[in-house]
Amino acid sequence: MQQQTLKQSISLQGQGLHSGCTSHLQILPAKADTGIIFRRVDLPHKPEIKALYYNVTDTRNCTCLSNEAGAVVSTIEHLMAALNIAGVDNAIIEVDNQELPIMDGSAQVFYKALCDAGLEAQYAERKLLKVLKEISFTDDKGNTASLLPVEHSGMSISFSIDFPSPIVGHQSFEGMITPRVFAEEIAPCRTFCEKSQVDYLQSIGLIKGGSLDNAVVLDGDNVLNPDGFRVPNECVNHKVLDAIGDMFTAGYRIQGRLVANKTGHLHNNILLRKLFENSSQYELL
């Protein structure tokens, strides 16, 4: 399988979830072996930040990258998931803000734009990583994420969550991440939160751009969004979306199985750091 880039560039704009500022994105084709690079065009000298796990510097409310000079780009995970599954290996993403636009809180807009732009094969082999040994991380609450070897090609994910809102409760996802599964069951799934959490985050100056247009807001037994959920199990499927994006910061498409229980961006990043600690744990194909 050859590496691919976009046939043509893509322009998108929207609000940042936390800053509330409008940010403009240009996703540009890039030559083979570039990988995914963000470029902050609003900063002097337009610094570049490679979308790689060792540049992930904050995982509290999103996945945030920084370079050595301190240039930051945040909320990359939904676009990274769309790039991963659309089959884009090389792209330069110009952004004029610290934060990527949240769009509708899902990866749907990004994924459609990438598919519509079309892809071009390049003269280099796609970078694949096969997991050879189990890697696990358990946090201080006992929540565990693991990466396991598999016989099949591609990535499979088993994810479960237990959420206090009774309308969500226990949800689980299990399956291979194929383009069809991604397009139908994963990409449309939006960020979600409790109303009480929204009130708190707004009180400390975060999610200034948050609204029912870019998040599912839960309030006890109710979904405050007038149209409710987009797909059954939208909440756990959004966690799967985040994980697909975070795993692409490996710089390789991973052949393996992610098993995750109540985990998030922090766990995803620690798994990759642990994976790359020892080259006997993986094989580059």
Question: By the criterion CB under 5 A, which residues form the site for Zn ion?
Answer: 191, 242
Q: Which residues contact 60 (CB under 8 A, 6 or more apart)?
A: 265, 266
CA distance linking residue 121 with residue 26, whole number of Å? 20
DSSP tag of 189: P
Closer to Zn ion by Cβ: residue 76 or 93? 76
Spatial neighbors of 110 by CB under 8 A, at least 6 apart, are: 12, 78, 79, 82, 83, 103
Is the Cβ of residue 234 or residue 242 nearer to Zn ion in the bound state?
Answer: 242
Residue 148 C-beta: closest distance to Zn ion, Å: 23
Residue 191 or 255 having the CB closest to Zn ion: 191
Determine the distance from the C-alpha atom of residue 106 to the mean position of all C-alpha atoms in its chain, rounded to a whole number.
10
In terms of CB distance, is 5 or 74 closer to Zn ion? 74
Of 18, 78, 238, 265, the catalytic one is 265
Determine the residue with CB nearest Zn ion.
242
Least distance to Zn ion, CB of residue 264, Å = 9
Burial class (CB in 10 A: 0-12, 13-18, 19+), 59: middle
Of 19 and 191, which has the nearer Cβ to Zn ion? Answer: 191
- Residue 224, C-beta contacts closer than 8 angstroms, at least 6 positions apart: 195, 212, 217, 218
| Least distance from Zn ion to the Cβ atom of residue 18, Å | 13
Check: CB of residue 187 under 8 Å from CB of residue 241: yes
**Least distance (Å) between residue 77 CB and Zn ion:** 5
**Has 267 been annotated as catalytic?**
no
C-alpha–C-alpha distance, residues 276 and 12, integer Å: 34
Give the residue numbers annotated as catalytic, written as ranges. 265
